[in-house]
């Protein structure tokens, strides 16, 4: 319970938005749709009601607060929170993954590469970030990383691999939220978005004794409705300016080769800055992450360092 009453919400909402240039192909929407299928397949070993794979004990404070006694599955229940003010959430129509508004009336990163004033999307030093873990492949990546990186974790995987989560933490890497179960947030109701954030935060708190400051929306799916809810948790969005599309090595047939990705990495290295999106859920992508780490060298930053920000909202 202590985690709930210690949230300090001091965020001021501005409406200014910055558009950054497209650096992806016109087929973004197709790629995003494909990715949703790929990523969900990595977490579908839990049913929608109970998370049987969870190893992290369900804490007493969460039992008394939620009335539950187990971690949820891919559809976590909405638990009301007294610091969430629904009046601060803009009324933006829901939209399914892979669809975009016809005109740019919303600051959407997945549709328009639009970022808001407090979104982090680049870094003074070229730096790797890893999404969708922890996984059984994360450990080997950790053993070989020579720099401090940022890992955006799924709550479902945090409670499934709590010891790997804490290994990431003990090696000095930064942990952020990638939501509870990788849903496309703009397609969810306000309550469902809150559930995705709150359960992810509770998993991180129960496992790592901290509350995340940084989150990455799955598929880059974000608009001002998602941002307004995340800000009430004290969190800021982290996007990217360099997408490795490493997961496309796992598509069938593969849509991307290691050579193509390494060519991009060397080009980005010449530019000398930016945030690279990678994934620590496959052997192929974690092996490649190790190679990329050797190419870029250890001179990298966590996303908190990129913007001279704090690591966590609170550490217990």
**Which of 157/293 has CB closer to Zn ion?**
157
**In degrees rounded to 5, what are phi and psi of residue 109?**
-80, -40
Question: Least distance in Å: CB of 182 to Zn ion?
Answer: 6
**Which of 62/149 has CB closer to Zn ion?**
149
For 6-27, letters b (16+ CB in 10 Å) and e give ebeeebeeeeebeeeeeeeeee
**Which of 131/198 has CB closer to Zn ion?**
131
Residue 280 interacts with Zn ion (CB under 5 A): yes or no: no
Contact code string over 108-147 relative to Zn ion, x by CB under 5 A? -----------------------xx---------------
Total interface residues for Zn ion by CB under 5 A: 3
For 242-264, letters b (16+ CB in 10 Å) and e give bbbbbbbbbeeeeebeeeebeeb
Token pair of 105, please? Answer: 């009336």
Question: Least distance in Å: CB of 132 to Zn ion?
Answer: 4
Query: Which position's Cβ is nearest Zn ion?
Result: 131
H helix intervals, 145-189? 155-160, 162-170
* Among 133, 155, 212, 218, contact with Zn ion (rule: CB under 5 A): 218
**Which of 131/223 has CB closer to Zn ion?**
131
Interface stretch with Zn ion, choices 64-72, 96-104, 218-226, 240-248 (CB under 5 A):
218-226
Q: Which residues are catalytically annotated?
A: 131, 279
**In degrees rounded to 5, what are phi and psi of residue 303?**
-65, -30
Residue 31 interacts with Zn ion (CB under 5 A): yes or no: no
Question: Least distance in Å: CB of 169 to Zn ion?
Answer: 20
Residue 185: C-alpha distances to residues 97, 138, 164, 214 (Å): 9, 25, 26, 16
The whole-angstrom separation of Cα 98 and Cα 313 is 32
Contact positions vs Zn ion (CB under 5 A): 131-132, 218
């Amino acid at each position: 319970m202590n985690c709930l009453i210690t949230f300090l919400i001091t965020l001021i909402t501005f409406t200014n938005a910055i558009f950054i240039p497209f650096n992806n192909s016109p087929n973004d929407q197709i790629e995003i749709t494909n990715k949703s299928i790929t990523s969900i397949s990595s977490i579908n070993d839990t049913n929608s009601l109970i998370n049987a794979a969870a190893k992290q004990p369900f804490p007493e404070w969460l039992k008394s607060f939620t009335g539950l006694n187990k971690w949820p599955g891919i559809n976590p229940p909405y638990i009301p929170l007294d610091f969430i003010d629904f009046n601060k959430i803009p009324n933006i129509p829901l939209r399914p993954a892979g669809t975009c508004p016809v005109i740019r009336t919303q600051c959407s990163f997945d549709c328009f590469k639009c970022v808001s004033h407090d979104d982090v999307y680049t870094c003074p030093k070229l730096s790797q970030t890893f999404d969708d873990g922890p996984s059984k492949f994360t450990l080997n990546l950790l053993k070989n990383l020579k720099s401090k990186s940022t890992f955006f974790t799924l709550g479902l995987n945090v409670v499934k691999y709590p010891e790997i989560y804490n290994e990431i933490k003990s090696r000095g890497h930064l942990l952020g939220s990638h939501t509870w179960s990788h849903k496309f947030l703009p397609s969810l109701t306000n309550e469902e978005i809150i559930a995705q954030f709150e359960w992810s935060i509770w998993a991180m708190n129960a496992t790592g004794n901290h509350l995340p400051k940084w989150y990455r929306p799955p598929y880059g799916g974000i608009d001002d409705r998602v941002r307004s809810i995340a800000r009430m948790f004290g969190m800021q969005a982290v996007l990217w300016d360099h997408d490795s599309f490493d997961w496309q090595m796992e598509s069938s047939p593969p849509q991307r080769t290691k050579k193509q990705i390494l060519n991009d990495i060397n080009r980005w290295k010449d530019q000398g800055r930016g945030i690279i999106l990678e994934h620590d859920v496959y052997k192929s992508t974690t092996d490649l992450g190790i190679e990329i780490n050797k190419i870029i060298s250890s001179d990298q930053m966590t996303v908190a360092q990129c913007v001279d920000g704090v690591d966590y909202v609170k550490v217990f």
